[in-house]
Structure 1
Amino acid sequence: MLMLQRIFLLFLMGFFGLSAPLLGQDSRFKSFIKKTISDTTAPGKPSYRFYPTLAYAPETSFEFGVSSLLLFQAKNDTLNRLSEVQAFGFVTMNGQYGLWIDNAIYGDQDNWFLLGRMRFQKFPLLYYGIGPSPSAKEPALIDANYLLFRQRVLRKIIPNLFIGPEIDYQQLYNTAFKQPENHLYDKPLGTNGTINVGLGAALVYDNRHNVLNVRKGLFGELSFLQYHPRIGSQYTFHGVNLDVRSYHPTSPRNVLAWQVYGNFYGGNIPFNQLALMGGEMIMRGYYSGRYRDKNMIAAQVEHRWLPFGFSKRFGAAAFAGAAVVAPKISEFSTQYIRPTAGVGLRYLLFPRRDIYVRLDVGFSEDGPNFYLFTGEAF
């Protein structure tokens, strides 16, 4: 069982009122804490926050990181949608490191929409095999450098409907495949290193106003990507991705949200680009890639109390989900559906922007996993 626990040091002090006795007379540090947990930015003006994190996992030892969040509206106009750029950098006691960047940027009057992510990391990947049936509990460890760049450049065609090209670049290099002591895996495609480039298009419907905390709205994406040696890819394969999210207020403070997510791939696909079950966004409780195959269907539902009726800053969430992977669409089976459920704590980081920090614990057949991020999972 992998247990990853990120402890939000800065806000734990704010949560439990420990900052004053710990900080003593250090006025600069006290000013830093006050500025970080306050939201005094004028409406329409960009807001920026950063905070430290601490994590532990058996394959990395202690991990020290810094998260940051930039919020802004095009032309500083409050009528435009809220754009966000998130960054997270980390190093571990075992010499691993990484940088994650996610963006959802809306242009003036939504004429343009940039949606993407970047990952660079030297970090171990756990490999449990390919397919929907249970594999050995002890995974192989694939130590590698990983680079991902994925971006959609979308143009509004009618209100809330966008279309545009998409590019996906993924590289795995300096790999080392370490077998567990009690089980041997067949080495999957891509474990010796791989570079793959995909080009395609995305069609997106999006009437959300606040991507990080949606109170009401609908998001839907249908995209297609083709990977081929003619465009620099080592392997030839293709994929169709579906993502539908819906949000329904049950009261002025509470939201019921659901999501349906699907990956449908064909061709010679390296192991790291198969459909991966688990992670911090969907199927929380499972390690990302605990189950993987060419096809996956996943769904989740979540109820959010933002905030509680008795608090101005604290809230919570309860969620449940299910997913299944298969080598072919025709081979999806209810026998291999994996469930997950969990709860989470919320803290209002930007009161003027209605954005929360979430600390979630998801429970699966492998035990609990913990997640700390800015903004909701979906």
Structure 2
Amino acid sequence: MPLKKLVIFIFLSLCLHSMKAQNFWSRYWESLTKEESNDGSPSFIVYPTLAFAPETSWEFGLSSLYLYYAKGNPENRLSEFNAFTFYTLEHQYGLWLDHANYGDHDRYMFLGRLRYQSFPLFYHGVGKNTPADPLALVDAQYLLWKEHFLKQIQGYLYAGVYADLQSLSRSNFISQSDQGYPFPSGANGSFNLGLGLSAVYDDRHNVLNVRDGNFTELSFLRYSPFWGSEYNFTSLLVDSRFYRSTTSNQVWANQLLGQFVNGNAPFHMLSLMGGESMMRGYYYGRYRDQNLLAFQSEYRILPFSFSKRWGASFFMAAGQVYPQWENLKLNDFKLAGGAGLRFLIFPQKDIYTRLDFAMTEEGPGFYFFIGEAF
């Protein structure tokens, strides 16, 4: 084929490929922005994600969300399945599965999450005065499975059993500092199983975007060699949230979180601060110790008065890890805050996707998820 014809052929092929790609993205965008029916039918969405962090480099992900009502009845509480898989330029990968499912007339509640990932995480040590520069990069395989099985006791009060299985294997501490440091408990990996009880008060109708409501969880877990756990310790979780509509399109949301670990827990099962939900701006586990106490408040405009789908939020948080109650100091709380954009992805179900920008004394953080942080 002559060079001129080859160039024309390549050009036309690229144009055709571009037109197909544009058609695909056009149809995809239409699927996101079209109006839904309000007959209680389920909704499903798949969307790509892109993120960057020092310990992962660029991360490419794919998320999906499935929403439904028990028996197809919108009078029931909205249930969800959320899946996320990712791969990074540092050859890390993982699969996350989360769910919140409610039975007909809210008789049963199933809350849980599954995590499997190969990752490096920065280890700064244990305590609230750890150095800003990490002591080590921990490379490991991690499996987590948490599940609540709850039954309605009366009204919005539920109680039931709680299980937590966590396995850390192929753990390798790669030193990032010239300073020596003691290896923490569980540095070589471990398998731990916690069994316990949980009580939940939950009158929220839409857990991904609460307009008005209350949520309180009190959970106790016992990790014992008797049922196969390598470490012997207990964990108590207190999570209390309340939401109030200040106007027809504005919500004030608040959360108080406490986790209290007693005994010899491995380093990855201590109380960890940071992440995409509480103390946004700090990566998950930047600070760790026996106990955690944190609070956050967020003001949401959903949507703007001049827009049907776009909104925003403003948030602040304060948190601290500490070994014993006498070590809890008011001036040792870490602060975080920021703002975010919102886009109404499922109008009939009142579900937004969020892009949050958070700032801390150690730098910024970016988060892209469907559903509010808490």
TM normalised by structure 1 equals: 0.92
Letter in 1 for 2:227: I
* Long gaps (5+) in structure 1: 1-21
For 1:179-235, what per-residue CA distance to the aligned partner results, in whole angstroms no more than 9, with x for missing partners?
Answer: 113433211111101110000010000000000000000000001000001111000
Determine helix, strand or coil for the equivalent of 1:114.
strand
For 1:318-356, what per-residue CA distance to the aligned partner results, in whole angstroms no more than 9, with x for missing partners?
Answer: 001101111112321123111111111111110111000
Q: Residue 80 of structure 1 is aligned with which of 62, 76, 79?
A: 76
Match of 1:119? 115
Match of 2:315? 319
Determine helix, strand or coil for the equivalent of 1:250.
strand
Question: How many residues of Structure 1 are paired with residues of Structure 2 in the alignment?
Answer: 357
**Post-superposition offset of 1:33:** 2.7
List aligned pairs for 1:295-306, cutoff 5 A.
295-306=291-302
**Post-superposition offset of 1:79:** 0.7
2:112 matched to 1:98?
A: no
Letter in 2 for 1:135: P
In structure 2, distance between residues paired with 1:87 and 1:151: 16
In structure 1, distance between residues paired with 2:169 and 2:254: 37
> 1:99 touches 1:119 (CA, 8 Å); kept in 2?
yes
- Asked which structure has the greater CA Rg, the reply is 2
In structure 2, distance between residues paired with 1:343 and 1:62: 23
**Post-superposition offset of 1:26:** 4.8
Match of 2:33? 37
> 2:310 touches 2:342 (CA, 8 Å); kept in 1?
yes
Determine helix, strand or coil for the equivalent of 1:32.
helix
Greater RCO between the two (CA within 8 Å, min separation 6)? Answer: 1
Letter in 2 for 1:102: D
Determine helix, strand or coil for the equivalent of 2:29.
helix
Match of 2:9? none
Match of 1:204? 200
**Post-superposition offset of 1:39:** 4.2
List aligned pairs for 1:15-164, cutoff 5 A.
26-164=22-160
2:215 matched to 1:219?
A: yes
2:287 matched to 1:291?
A: yes
Letter in 1 for 2:77: R
> 1:36 touches 1:50 (CA, 8 Å); kept in 2?
no
Match of 1:168? 164
Letter in 1 for 2:341: L
For 1:54-85, what per-residue CA distance to the aligned partner results, in whole angstroms no more than 9, with x for missing partners?
Answer: 12223222211101000000000111000011
TM normalised by structure 2 equals: 0.93
> 2:36 touches 2:347 (CA, 8 Å); kept in 1?
no
Bigger mean CA deviation after superposition, 95-104 or 22-31: 22-31
**Post-superposition offset of 1:38:** 2.6
Letter in 2 for 1:146: Y
Letter in 2 for 1:369: G
Q: 1:23 to 1:282 in 2, by over 3 A?
A: farther
Match of 2:348? 352
> 2:51 touches 2:60 (CA, 8 Å); kept in 1?
yes
Letter in 1 for 2:226: R
In structure 1, distance between residues paired with 2:343 and 2:29: 15
Determine helix, strand or coil for the equivalent of 2:31.
helix
> 1:71 touches 1:85 (CA, 8 Å); kept in 2?
yes
In structure 2, distance between residues paired with 1:365 and 1:191: 28
* Long gaps (5+) in structure 2: 1-17
Match of 2:337? 341
